[in-house]
Amino acid sequence: MLAFIAVATEGSFARAGDRLGIGRSAVSRSVQKLEAQLGTRLFLRTTRSTTLTGEGELFYRNCHSGVQRIVQALEDMHDLREGPPRGQLRISATTGFGRRIVAPLLNGFRARYPEIAVDLRLDDRATDFSADRIDVAFRDGRLDDSRVIAKQLIPMPMLLCASPAYRRTHGLPRQVEDLAGHGCVNFRTASGRIFEWEFKVGGRVLKHLPSSSCTFNDDELVLQAVLDGQGIAQMAGYQVSAHLRAGRLVECLAQYAPDDRGHYLCYLSRQQLPARIRVFIDYMTGAVRALDLQCATGLAPMTTTLPRGMREVIAAGIG
C-alpha cells in the first residue's frame, strides 16, 4: 500500500523508491503483488510515464487518507530518529506574492536546510491541498476549509495608486464617483473575471468595477502600467510599498480604503507536523515579517525580534 501511494504521488517508480528509501525493483514488486491481490492493473506504464488506471484512481481515492496517516506517523518517527529536516516540500503561492516575496526568501531557507527539496507552484486559483498534494500555501485571506490552519503573516491593504506624472496631467479622484472620469488599469483573475475594486464608504463595503483603459492578467503588468502613467489601479500593499516610499507612486482615496485582507500561511491541520513543514513555517513567518513592506499610509509598523544572524541570512536570500 505504501509503495502504491508513493508511486501515485511521485508519478515514478524510481522517485517512489527514493522517497521510501528502497530500490525501484522493490517498489515494482510490491505494486505487482498488490495488483495480483486486487485482480486489476493499477498503473499504465510506458518508457516515459507512469499513470493511474481508472481502477487505480478509484483505489487511490478510497485508501489515500488512511495511508497518509500511516505515512505521517512514519515521517514523525523518521524526523525524531534522523535529525536534520529533510524530504520534499510542496508549496503553493499566488503568482504576485510568490514571485515577489516567497521565491527570493527560498534562497536563505535552502541555505539553512539544504536537505529539504522545495517545489514552488505559482497559482492564483484556490488551493486544493489533497488533490494538489500541497504542504504549505500562501494565500490572500483565509481559506474556506475547516481542515486548514491559516496563520496571518502580514496585513494586506488594498491601495489605489497612480504615478506622479498621471497626477500632474489628470489630477486625482476625490470621491469614488470621480473614477468614471479617469483612466483605470484592471486586473483579470485566474477565473477570467475582472477584479472588482473595493472601498469602504460610510462604514459599508462598496464594490466598483471601473471601465478600463487597459486590462492585464498579470499583476506586475498592472503595476508597470501605473508606473508608466497609463492610469490608476488598486493593488496590494506589498506590491506598491517601495514605490510609495520612493515617490514613484502616490496614493489616492485613502479615506475609503477597504478593510485589511491579510496575507496568510496555510497548512492542513495535523497534530504532528513533519519537521520539514514545521521549520518552513517558522522560517517564513519570521522572514516575511522582517521584510520592509510597510506603506506610507496603509500598513501599521510591525516589530521583529529576529536575531541578527537570521536577519543576515534573510538579507542574503533576497539579495
Does the pLDDT at position 306 exceed 60? no
Look at residue 314 and tell me whether its pLDDT is greater than 50. no
Mean pLDDT of 217-241: 90
Can you list the domains of the chain with their CATH numbers?
2-69 (1.10.10.10), 87-155+262-318 (3.40.190.10), 158-256 (3.40.190.290)
Average pLDDT of every residue of the chain: 81
Give the model's confidence band at 207: pLDDT under 50 very low, under 70 low, under 90 confident, else very high. confident
- The answer to whether the CB of 299 falls within 8 A of the CB of 257 is no
What confidence score (pLDDT) does residue 74 get? 67
pLDDT at 86: 81
Which comes out higher in pLDDT, residue 74 or 96?
96
- CB contact burial 263-287 (16+ within 10 A = b; e otherwise): bbbbbbeeeebbbbbebbbebbebb
pLDDT at 79: 60
Highest mean pLDDT pick, 7-21, 229-243, 299-313: 229-243
* Residue 150: per-residue pLDDT: 82
Is the pLDDT confidence value at 169 over 80?
yes
Angle between helices 2-10 and 24-38 (to 10 degrees): 110
Alpha-carbon gap, residue 178 to 175, rounded angstroms: 5
Q: What distance in Å separates the CA atoms of residue 124 and residue 126, rounded to the nearest whole number?
A: 7
227 pLDDT tier (thresholds 50, 70, 90):
very high
In DSSP terms, 118 is beta-bridged to 89
Q: Say whether 159 sits in a helix, a strand or coil.
A: strand
On the question of pLDDT at 251 being above 90, the answer is yes
Stretch 34-55: mean pLDDT: 86
Residue 95's pLDDT is 85
The residue-averaged pLDDT of 55-68 equals 80
- Reply yes or no on whether the pLDDT at 261 is more than 70: yes
Q: What is the mean pLDDT of residues 178-207?
A: 87
Quick one: average pLDDT of 138-162? 78
Q: Which three cell numbers stand for residue 262?
A: 491579510
CA distance 232 to 69: 50
Looking at the predicted structure, is the pLDDT value of residue 180 above 90?
no
* pLDDT at 77 (0 to 100): 65
**pLDDT for res 124:** 79
Kindly report, residue by residue over 103-116, the tens digit of the pLDDT.
999 999 999 999 89
Report yes or no: 43 and 50 within 8 Å, Cβ to Cβ. Answer: yes
In this prediction, residue 300 carries a pLDDT of 36
Share of the chain above pLDDT 70, in %: 83
pLDDT for residue 257 is more than 70:
yes
Q: How confident is the model at residue 164 (pLDDT cuts 50, 70, 90)?
A: very high
Residue 317 has pLDDT above 80, yes or no: no
Give the pLDDT score at 80.
Answer: 56
Please report, in angstroms and rounded to a whole number, the separation of the first and last CA atoms in the chain: 45
How many angstroms separate the CA atoms of 7 and 31, rounded? 9
Nearest in space to 84 (alpha carbons), one of 110, 58, 120:
110
Cα Rg of the chain (Å, integer): 24
Q: Among 49-53, 60-64, 219-223, which range has the highest average pLDDT?
A: 219-223
What pLDDT is recorded for position 271?
Answer: 61
CA 68 to chain centroid, in Å, comes to: 23
